[in-house]
Amino acid sequence: MEFWLASYPRSGNSYFRILLRNRYDIPSIDQECPEELETATLRGTRFVRAHYCDPNAAPAIMGLKTHKPPEPGDTRPGVYIVRDGRDALVSYAHFALSFVYKNASEVVTPEILRNTIRDLILEPNSPYWTWSRNVDAWTNRKNTVVIQFEDLITNPGKAADRAVAGMGLGVPIVSKEIPTFKELKTVDPQFFRKGQKGEWQEVFTADLYDLFWQHNGATMTRFGYAHMPPLRPAVPTPAAA
């Protein structure tokens, strides 16, 4: 049996995979990421990301990690993780600048970070769509359990149990030892960067926030994320500077 393990990028998907593997011994694969890249920093630790690649010994239950929108007509069960879009975009921008564009952290200025977030808000051609389009497509899909990132971080065992029960996987808990984000950060501090909520308040300026809310406000409200101002003032225009 296969099930989807989906989210917009940088929304807790990798942590949830590790949680399912440790708590339920449920393996999963990332079809976009080769095994040697995915497991390198975790190999030899108890935090195994189960990139399953043996076609001769397929497990009875396997998760399929994805950030892409749902496939039309696909009826396999799924779990979707929703994270506050503001925090997800901050984390995704850091990830893109570090892993995709190979920038050293010291060269990533606040302006570069905010420009990257702006591009993600407006990006029309991403295979993952925009944050709200991705969230809406998956959470409106049938046979999909929705977990919010903030609940996952607060009570990971309960979140995993609800997802497994909601998808009808019918597997027992094999370990009650919960891997913590702090432990994962010790193993791979670049990938498991913060795992916190509210970082966006120190990154977004008022103008960037208004742009984000214009494009994502309805979905944010739907999931209970409050419309609140950032801590930073707007960036002045050249005429006003």
Are the beta carbons of 63 and 20 closer than 8 angstroms? yes
Residues 6 or more apart whose CB falls under 8 angstroms from that of 57 comprise none
The structure tokens 């977030």 sit at 117
State both tokens at 35: 């095994």
Give the H/E segment covering residue 102: none
Residue 229 included in any domain: no
Query: What is the tally of structural domains in the chain?
Result: 1
Quick one: pLDDT at residue 99? Answer: 67
Rounded percentage of the chain residues whose pLDDT exceeds 90: 51
pLDDT bracket for residue 199 (50, 70, 90): confident
Per-residue exposure over 82-118, b if at least 16 CB sit within 10 Å of its own CB, e if not: bbbbbbbbbbbbbbbbbeeeeeeeeebeeeebbebbb
Q: Following CA atoms 92, 10, 185, 182 in sequence, which dihedral angle do they give, to the nearest 10 degrees?
A: 130
- How many H-runs (helices) and E-runs (strands) does the chain carry? 9, 5
42-98 tens-digit pLDDT: 444 445 544 555 556 677 888 999 999 999 999 999 999 999 999 999 999 988 897
Give the integer Cα–Cα distance in Å for 127 and 184. Answer: 28
CATH number at residue 108: 3.40.50.300
Residue 191 included in any domain: yes
Give the integer Cα–Cα distance in Å for 104 and 102. Answer: 7
Question: Mean of the per-residue pLDDT values for the chain?
Answer: 82
Give the integer Cα–Cα distance in Å for 71 and 102. Answer: 31
Residue 237 included in any domain: no
Domain carrying residue 114: 2-222
Residue 125 included in any domain: yes
Quick one: pLDDT at residue 230? Answer: 76
Residue 235 included in any domain: no
Residue 68 included in any domain: yes
- Stretch among 26-35, 86-95, 103-112, 160-169 having the lowest mean pLDDT: 26-35
Residue 238 included in any domain: no
